[in-house]
Structure 1
Amino acid sequence: MRSPADSGNRGLRRGLFHLATALMLNACVLSTGLSGEEAPARVEVILLPEVTVRGPQIRLGDLGVLRGDPALAARAREVIVGQAPLPGREREVALGYIHIRMRQSRLDPEHFNFLAPDRIVVRGAGRTLSPEEQIGAVEAAVRRVCNPREGEELVIEPLSTPVPLTVPEGELQLIADPGEGNAHAASIVAVRLRVLVDGTLAAMASVTVRVRRLSPVWVATRALRYGSILAEDDARVERRDVAGIAQPLPPDSAPVGLRVRRPLSAGSVLTATCLDAAPDVHRGDTITVSLRAGAIRVRVPAKALEEGAAGGEIRVVNLTGGREYRVRVTGPGAAEAILASGE
């Protein structure tokens, strides 16, 4: 039979055992908690202070290096941080905003150890098209359209310096359009320039140039009146800028003997429109008109109602019968009748 003292000792020992067990469990829990707080992050993120990105979006993987858990790092690299700046432009991305974007992608930033500045400067990748490159493309297009003649010198001068153009990286193509008619008819030409990257329009510009076409042509040596006939000392060949001048007379033409159709000042470039053939018949002249009828040829006098050169048609009136009809001038003071069908 156990004494009351033995029962009390057993109870005390049982209590001490439970207390020791509780203390050990508590120590284990505390140890586990501390080790969890001090455990290293699963992914280390090292971000650069400045980066250049290609494409329309900024991803976390574009901003630096992620290493650690392969699956988690791969997910984090694809997190879209924001829209990329335009080529040649820049924007800032804050570290706090990166954390927000990660949470929106269901990634806890607490699982990542960041080594990064507070703000990251992001630049859009691109290349700069220099003013010299733009002017070179414009000059080539103008020369191709103008197609200078033999002995003609084409001088192309930009009137202003175009600004540099920044475009995305890729296969570059410059298309300059001076306009077929503009380059030929004007001395000041505005050339449209389109910049294509990988076949897509990336930029546009306009470059204005002065076009000088230096060519040997006939010019007036002195002032010439309307209706005057060019003599040998009235014109000579000089090298002139003929851009914007229609139909200048080349040096192999023969202007001597032609008639001036409008007043010309000394030094004016002679053109096909300001000269014409001197008339062989003047208005009011009495001329001889030939009429053929088979083997019979008749000559009659007539009065010219118009002036004309050889090969041209004029109206005349018969001096004997007063009949008006048309003739073709054959030379000075001479013409042949133009018979209507059936006459």
Structure 2
Amino acid sequence: MLDRLAKVVIGRAPLPGRKLTVTRSLILSRLRSHKVNIKKFVFPGSDSTSIQRAALKISGNDIEQVVLNHIKETKGFSDLKPRLLAKIRDIFLPRGQVSYVISSKGNYKKEGGYRNYEVEFSVDGKAIRKVSVRTYLKIYKEVYVARNTIKRNHIIEESDLLKIRKNVDRMPREYVTDKEQLIGKISTRTITPSEAIQGNTLADPPLVKSGDRLQIVFETPFIRLSAPGISLAKGRKGERIPVKNADSKIVVFATVKTRNIVLVN
């Protein structure tokens, strides 16, 4: 008889922290389905019994706080304001040694904006539960914008710039926070007033202009030759431009080294 009773399943064990109510009628029904003579059983006490599985409660507030702390510690921004997009519910875990790992889900091109995180809880080294946390990261930085309209091919001066505190969480990462990266550069397009100046809208100005007189230099470890020349195009440092030998009138291509020196191979 005991062996037959051991095989009778009354119900599934509840999840950690949850309850299962077992009624007398449920027990009798399970016994009858296994051909057990229920007339031989007496059930003292109430008609139902509640069974609660022992568990460790992790509050939603605690989960929220560890994720927010993780964001602040890993992002490294001094002016960062993360916020949660949904309330996190309490969870219940089996008793034991609890540990957790927080990871960011997805790939993002911008520094801020929407971010999804996942908290994986383990008990005694075994992964038990994953909790998804949706957040929004608002980041503020002091960036440089155009004080007035900056026309194309304009050499940037300090008077063209204005530093403001700006929300950059949805901005492309090419914004600039160091004015030394801007002054002396040339704009490649028109920049409107109050527009954040991006690194990809600027270029180094040409060292050599068309018509400049310069020295055409050929050198090896053992010899150095030079001749006067005239540039036939503008060029930045490292660019190859056509130059004309002022004596022979021969046109060659040379690499810009300085404002008045170009190198030929």
TM-score (norm 2): 0.76
Query: What's 1:86 paired with?
Result: 15
- Aligned residue runs from structure 1 range 241-280, under 5 A: 241-243=167-169, 244-251=171-178, 253-280=180-207
Query: Higher helix proportion, which one?
Result: 1
Q: Tell me: CA distance 1:111–1:313, structure 2 relative to 1, closer, same or farther (3 Å).
A: closer
Which of 198, 215, 233 pairs up with 1:305? 233
Query: What's 2:153 paired with?
Result: 227
Contact 1:153 1:213 in 2 (8 A): yes
1:234: how far off?
Answer: 1.0
Distance 1:223 1:196 in 2: 57
Query: What's 1:189 paired with?
Result: 115
Deviations 1:97-118 (A, max 9, x none): 4457679698988476x43211
Letter of the 1:241 counterpart: N
Contact 2:215 2:262 in 1 (8 A): yes
Contact 1:188 1:209 in 2 (8 A): yes
User: Secondary structure in 2 aligned to 1:182?
Assistant: coil
Query: What's 1:138 paired with?
Result: 67
Distance 1:262 1:88 in 2: 63
Deviations 1:134-162 (A, max 9, x none): 222322332333223xxx3222122x223
Contact 1:167 1:203 in 2 (8 A): no
Contact 1:129 1:164 in 2 (8 A): no
Distance 1:184 1:219 in 2: 19
Distance 2:215 2:121 in 1: 68
Letter of the 1:338 counterpart: V
Letter of the 2:150 counterpart: L
Query: What's 1:213 paired with?
Result: 139
Question: What percent identity do the matched residue pairs reach?
Answer: 16
Distance 2:182 2:31 in 1: 85
Q: Tell me: CA distance 1:296–1:85, structure 2 relative to 1, closer, same or farther (3 Å).
A: closer
Letter of the 1:239 counterpart: R
User: Secondary structure in 1 aligned to 2:257?
Assistant: strand
RMSD across aligned positions (CA)? 3.5
1:133: how far off?
Answer: 2.1
Which of 56, 73, 92 pairs up with 1:167? 92
1:330: how far off?
Answer: 0.1
Specify every segment of 5 or more residues in structure 2 that has no aligned partner in the other structure, as ranges.
none
Q: Does residue 1:199 correspond to 2:128, yes or no?
A: no
Distance 1:298 1:173 in 2: 72
Task: Count residues in correspondence.
Answer: 255
Contact 2:144 2:196 in 1 (8 A): yes
TM-score (norm 1): 0.61
Distance 1:173 1:183 in 2: 31
Higher relative contact order (CA 8 A, sep 6+): 2
1:219: how far off?
Answer: 2.3
Letter of the 1:298 counterpart: S
